[in-house]
Chains A and B, each alone.
Chain A
Amino acid sequence: MPKISLTINDKKIEAESGQTILEVAKENGIKIPTLCHDPRLEPYGACRVCLVEVEGARNFLPACATEIANGMVVKTNTIPLYKIRRTIVELLLSDHELSCVTCESAGQCQLQDLAYELGIEENRFEGERHTYTIEDYNPLIERDLNKCILCGRCVRICEEVQQDRIYTFANRGFDAVVTTPYDRSLIETKCELCGQCISTCPTGALTEKMSRYKGRIWEIEKVKTICPYCGCGCELELQVKDGEIVRVSSDVEGGINKGNTCAKGRFGYDFVNHPDRLTSPLVRKDGKLVEASWDEAIKTVADKFSRIKKRHGPDAIAGLSSAKCTNEENYLMQKFMRAVIGTNNIDHCARL
């Protein structure tokens, strides 16, 4: 990509062409507020809080959706821009159930952060408010439209990333709303409950039901890990409080998955602290499974494999490895079957 030069807030900047003003600003430590932007999605330009001044342009331009050009002169911090941002955030808050005290999003809410940054204590634009009933039929995703700012991120992530179209907009004007086909509950639609919509929602409108009241964002520790479910190797952040996972998220900037996960990765963590979870190997003795050491367990398996091989030959044994294992582990598994056991009877559960 050819380099081009521009200035943002009087700072001379060299950047690769094809980038947006927002991307370049971010790389250079210049913060531009956003609400409807998610790097995983196509530029949308709807919330308008990222508007910037570009010399020679007729209107203010959305930084998230405007490509840089050579010689561009951009200002992100002028008084008119602050005024507009303030007006927009006040307008959003004027039709928003402001319950930060108990909201799961508090502390990680882009609307709250922006209101704080702009120092909005009083709202000049009070007026009619919507009251929506909270969708409560599915086990995983809580949809509280009273906190929705209509950024369209859930609609778009479902369509653009998941290639599904569970959400859409309905109605016009002030009554515009995000809805599902025929306004049904998510489990009555084709929704796979992947929770990608939660991952992109900038507010507390979409949250994880299982995490309700389990822990505030400032109480938790984020532990980076690789998802145990399949060989894709998605990076996850386990949000842990007092040694228990309260929520699973993923960093849009890290990992091969760029913040995307499937339903299992996001919600399938309850086994970790489940009472039925096996925590040591079991060996059957006198028809009963009893706890054993790893050494004892491995020895038992090795003995029995050797006996079978001797009596019936290596092809009497077959191996089926798991998609939950890493590539390396799967490699070792087939090596073990071929070189140690001496059979080609090896397969993998993902090869269905």
Chain B
Amino acid sequence: MVKGKQTRVFICTGTGCVLSGSMKVKAAFKSELKKRKISEIDIVQTGCHGFCQQGPIVVIQPEGFFYPRVSVENVPRIVEEHLVGGKVVEDLLYEDSLTNKKIPLYKDINFYKKQNRIVLKNCGLIDPEDIDDYIEHGGYKAFKKVLSEMTPEKVIEEVKASGLRGRGGAGFPTGLKWDFARKAPGDIKYIICNADEGDPGAFMDRSVLEGDPHSILEGMVIAGYAIGASEGYIYVRAEYPLAVKRLGIAVEQAKKKGFLGKNILDSSFNFNVKIKEGAGAFVCGEETALIASIEGRRGMPRIRPPFPAQSGLWGKPTNINNVETLANVAWIIVNGVDKFTSIGTEKSKGTKIFAVTGKVKNGGLVEVPMGTTLREVIFDICGGVKDDKEFKAVQIGGPSGGCLPAKFLDTSIDYESLAKTGAIVGSGGMVVMDKSSCMVDLARYFLAFTQKESCGKCAPCRIGTKRMLEMLQRMTRGESSEEEVVLLEQLAEDVKVSSLCGLGQTASNPVLTMLKYFRKEFEEHVKEGRCRAGVCSELITYVIKDNVCKGCGVCKKHCPVGAIRGEKKQPHEIDVTKCVKCGICMQHCSFDAIYVAK
């Protein structure tokens, strides 16, 4: 039996799924349906579902049957058995990693069950290239309400009362920022949407841009109305071609429907949006550098004050908000302040999206209420550490954030609680690590990133991060000392307090938290030349003294990479080409036959 018209096949075309082949899957569905002359079933391309590790994702609506990792070969079966036969294809369903049970429906999957999707509500559920789909799902309702029933002041009051804070990293109260921009003297004002998202590993904003671009436009027009701006810019990285394309389509459609342009919906309000592609410099996400970049100058931060609200783009009062911040606005207007403030903690309201990656079972995009604990996100939603290994640490907030050990797993995710630990909510990157990650090497990785991305304007950041990076490089090579660990910490503190912009001020966070919580690992590197994770293989070599070795074979048994050879009762030998310098053999030898040669 072929189901009625309401049946729709949703194929995820977020970047993750496109990379795993969803475009081919989409084509396969099209041709399969054509072959069978089935025309009543729509194929809808959607934005990211957030569950990218399971891509390509196919969802059959209206019931919400969820098929992960769909290949072109699976398509005929889904069409035949599910769409025509009306029976779910059991073996293609998602299997829960904890219970090993098959879970047919989207909403029952643990990954989604504990989430609270406000910003991502439409992602995966609507066609991002179709404004009507957005409108059918309640889109532009908030804007119409604002325009017909609310004064700009009232809008600002609502946003203030909602407690919404900037999701771009700093967590500044959004309503307050709008108020500053509204009250700043001047006829011409601007709204900028910061869609630069330069943190490595972060893709929260990209998913909203690709999956629900109108929610951002709606947030922007509301913000424009509130502060008295008639022009908006979306600064989006050119490395997000799909986002750029879909934003372009969204702007055109919104113009046609009269949500953008002159005398919007027969009011006196005018608003237009321009898309500006950034060339992918991390520092251009910093608001003053971003403004410089739009103006055609080199993306370099400048001192504040004046803040953009006083003097921003082209010297005019400018309000700049992150993608996720703006995508919350319409929801707040439609659902009301009370509903929004009921989510989250006392000082951090609403939800936050995290991009969970690294050594985690079900990585992806997760939107949770503020106040959720790290444990709930990593273990309950994302299924815990990959291969059930032991959890070692989580890096929150990308290269500007901090690295926290297991004892902080029950920390509540909100601006204040995370700041206390030395980490930050940041833009929402979350990298999970097991014991195969070396903290020294990771600190080196993040600093290499910030150093490369520093704009070079101020000395502490430009040279300080370079010297820190060099110290860490020496540590991973075993050419460092205990004194240098102390010096590293001092320099990191100095760079933090003396740099001009947020990039330099936060570049030390990974190093400082790693030194605080994993200092022993640094000491092992510099004192013993040992990397317990076996990552820093340029360190010293381990050698077995053949006159002391009894040939007991304990070392051979424990070596994780099989680098030790030797017959029982004969002196053993370490193959330096295989050895990863983890030092485990030395710890197990009862005869002190293994030593470190530098």
A binds B: yes
Kindly state whether residue A91 has any CB partner on chain B within 8 Å: yes
Could you say which of B283, B454, B465, B467 has the most chain A C-beta atoms within 10 Å of its C-beta? B467
Give the interface segment out of A167-175, A200-208, A234-242, A278-286. Answer: A167-175
A281 to chain B, nearest CB (A): 56
Contact A60/B497 with A92-B463, A172-B455 known, Cβ cut-off 8 Å: yes
Residues of B within 8 A of A124 (CB): 487
How many angstroms between the C-alpha atoms of A35 and B20 in the bound complex? 53
Contact A173/B456 with A60-B498, A84-B498 known, Cβ cut-off 8 Å: yes
Residues of B within 8 A of A177 (CB): 456
Structural contact, B454 and A88, CB atoms closer than 8 A = no
Q: Which residue of B lies closest to A62 (CB)?
A: B303
**Count of chain A to chain B residue pairs whose CB atoms are closer than 8 Å in the complex:** 102
Structural contact, A172 and B453, CB atoms closer than 8 A = yes
Residue A176 contacts which of B462, B499, B500 (CB distance < 8 angstroms)?
A: B462
Structural contact, A94 and B463, CB atoms closer than 8 A = yes
A142 to chain B, nearest CB (A): 23
Residues of B within 8 A of A149 (CB): 459
Interface residues of A in 102-138 (CB under 8 A from B): 124-125, 127-128
Give the interface segment out of A38-46, A243-251, A261-269. Answer: A38-46
Q: Which residue of B lies closest to A80 (CB)?
A: B497
Return the CB mask of A172-192 against B: 1 if under 8 Å, else 0: 111111000000000000000
Kindly state whether residue A152 has any CB partner on chain B within 8 Å: yes
Residues of A within 8 A of B500 (CB): 45-46, 48
Residue A125 contacts which of B281, B283, B300, B467 (CB distance < 8 angstroms)?
A: B467
Residue B467 contacts which of A44, A80, A127, A150 (CB distance < 8 angstroms)?
A: A127
A50 to chain B, nearest CB (A): 11
Kindly state whether residue A59 has any CB partner on chain B within 8 Å: yes
Structural contact, B498 and A172, CB atoms closer than 8 A = no
Residues of B within 8 A of A43 (CB): 303
How many angstroms between the C-alpha atoms of A168 and B298 in the bound complex? 9
B264 to chain A, nearest CB (A): 38
Structural contact, B498 and A87, CB atoms closer than 8 A = yes
Structural contact, A91 and B499, CB atoms closer than 8 A = no
Return the CB mask of A58-84 against B: 1 if under 8 Å, else 0: 011010010000000000000010011
Structural contact, A150 and B470, CB atoms closer than 8 A = no
Kindly state whether residue B152 has any CB partner on chain A within 8 Å: no
B317 to chain A, nearest CB (A): 19
Residues of B within 8 A of A95 (CB): 463
Contact A46/B460 with A125-B491, A169-B300 known, Cβ cut-off 8 Å: no
How many angstroms between the C-alpha atoms of A60 and B499 in the bound complex? 10
A86 to chain B, nearest CB (A): 9
Structural contact, B452 and A94, CB atoms closer than 8 A = no
Structural contact, B459 and A88, CB atoms closer than 8 A = yes
Contact A47/B458 with A62-B303, A91-B467, A168-B298 known, Cβ cut-off 8 Å: yes
Residues of A within 8 A of B524 (CB): none
Kindly state whether residue B464 has any CB partner on chain A within 8 Å: yes
How many angstroms between the C-alpha atoms of A175 and B463 in the bound complex? 9
How many angstroms between the C-alpha atoms of A92 and B464 in the bound complex? 9
Structural contact, B459 and A172, CB atoms closer than 8 A = no
Structural contact, A88 and B456, CB atoms closer than 8 A = no
Interface residues of A in 274-298 (CB under 8 A from B): none
Kindly state whether residue B270 has any CB partner on chain A within 8 Å: no
Q: Which residue of A lies closest to B466 (CB)?
A: A174
Residues of B within 8 A of A80 (CB): 497
A45 to chain B, nearest CB (A): 4
Kindly state whether residue B95 has any CB partner on chain A within 8 Å: no
Residues of B within 8 A of A46 (CB): 457-459, 500
Interface size class of B (residues with CB under 8 A): 20 to 34
Residues of A within 8 A of B32 (CB): none
Residues of B within 8 A of A48 (CB): 458-460, 498-500
Kindly state whether residue B521 has any CB partner on chain A within 8 Å: no
Count of chain A residues with Cβ under 8 Å from any Cβ of B? Answer: 36
Residue B466 contacts which of A84, A127, A152, A169 (CB distance < 8 angstroms)?
A: A127
Kindly state whether residue A227 has any CB partner on chain B within 8 Å: no
Residues of A within 8 A of B491 (CB): 87, 125
Kindly state whether residue B376 has any CB partner on chain A within 8 Å: no
Structural contact, B498 and A51, CB atoms closer than 8 A = yes
B145 to chain A, nearest CB (A): 37
A125 to chain B, nearest CB (A): 5
How many angstroms between the C-alpha atoms of A288 and B585 in the bound complex? 103
Residues of A within 8 A of B489 (CB): none
How many angstroms between the C-alpha atoms of A291 and B86 in the bound complex? 119
Return the CB mask of B497-512 against A: 1 if under 8 Å, else 0: 1111000010000000
Residue A44 contacts which of B303, B454, B455, B499 (CB distance < 8 angstroms)?
A: B303
Kindly state whether residue B194 has any CB partner on chain A within 8 Å: no
Could you say which of B281, B302, B458, B498 has the most chain A C-beta atoms within 10 Å of its C-beta? B498
Structural contact, A91 and B464, CB atoms closer than 8 A = yes
Return the CB mask of B447-479 against A: 1 if under 8 Å, else 0: 000011111111110111111001000000000
Structural contact, A84 and B497, CB atoms closer than 8 A = yes
Residues of B within 8 A of A152 (CB): 457
Structural contact, B460 and A91, CB atoms closer than 8 A = yes
Residue A174 contacts which of B281, B283, B451 (CB distance < 8 angstroms)?
A: B451
Residues of A within 8 A of B158 (CB): none
A319 to chain B, nearest CB (A): 49
Could you say which of B283, B491, B499, B505 has the most chain A C-beta atoms within 10 Å of its C-beta? B491
Contact A174/B463 with A62-B303, A87-B491 known, Cβ cut-off 8 Å: yes
Residues of A within 8 A of B80 (CB): none
Kindly state whether residue B494 has any CB partner on chain A within 8 Å: yes
Residue A173 contacts which of B465, B467, B490 (CB distance < 8 angstroms)?
A: B465
Residues of A within 8 A of B281 (CB): 172
Contact A173/B452 with A59-B497, A60-B497 known, Cβ cut-off 8 Å: yes
Structural contact, B456 and A45, CB atoms closer than 8 A = no
Return the CB mask of B288-305 against A: 1 if under 8 Å, else 0: 000000000010101100
How many angstroms between the C-alpha atoms of A45 and B487 in the bound complex? 26
How many angstroms between the C-alpha atoms of A173 and B494 in the bound complex? 17
Residues of B within 8 A of A128 (CB): 466, 470
Residue A87 contacts which of B298, B303, B452, B460 (CB distance < 8 angstroms)?
A: B460
Q: Which residue of B lies closest to A85 (CB)?
A: B498
Q: Which residue of B lies closest to A171 (CB)?
A: B456
A36 to chain B, nearest CB (A): 9
Structural contact, B462 and A173, CB atoms closer than 8 A = yes
B456 to chain A, nearest CB (A): 2
Structural contact, A45 and B303, CB atoms closer than 8 A = yes
How many angstroms between the C-alpha atoms of A84 and B300 in the bound complex? 22
Residue B452 contacts which of A60, A84, A172 (CB distance < 8 angstroms)?
A: A172
Structural contact, A65 and B456, CB atoms closer than 8 A = no
Can you list 19 A-B pairs with a CB-CB distance of less than 8 A?
A47-B459, A60-B497, A62-B303, A80-B497, A83-B494, A84-B498, A87-B460, A87-B498, A91-B463, A125-B491, A127-B466, A127-B470, A150-B459, A169-B300, A172-B453, A174-B465, A175-B456, A176-B454, A176-B457
Going nearest first, the 8 A-B pairs with the smallest beta carbon separation are A176-B456, A45-B303, A91-B463, A174-B466, A87-B494, A125-B467, A127-B470, A173-B454
5 further contact pairs, Cβ within 8 A, besides A173-B456, A174-B463:
A47-B459, A48-B498, A88-B459, A149-B459, A169-B457
Q: Which residues of A contact B (CB under 8 A)?
A: 43-48, 51, 59-60, 62, 65, 80, 83-84, 87-88, 91-92, 94-95, 124-125, 127-128, 149-150, 152, 168-169, 171-177
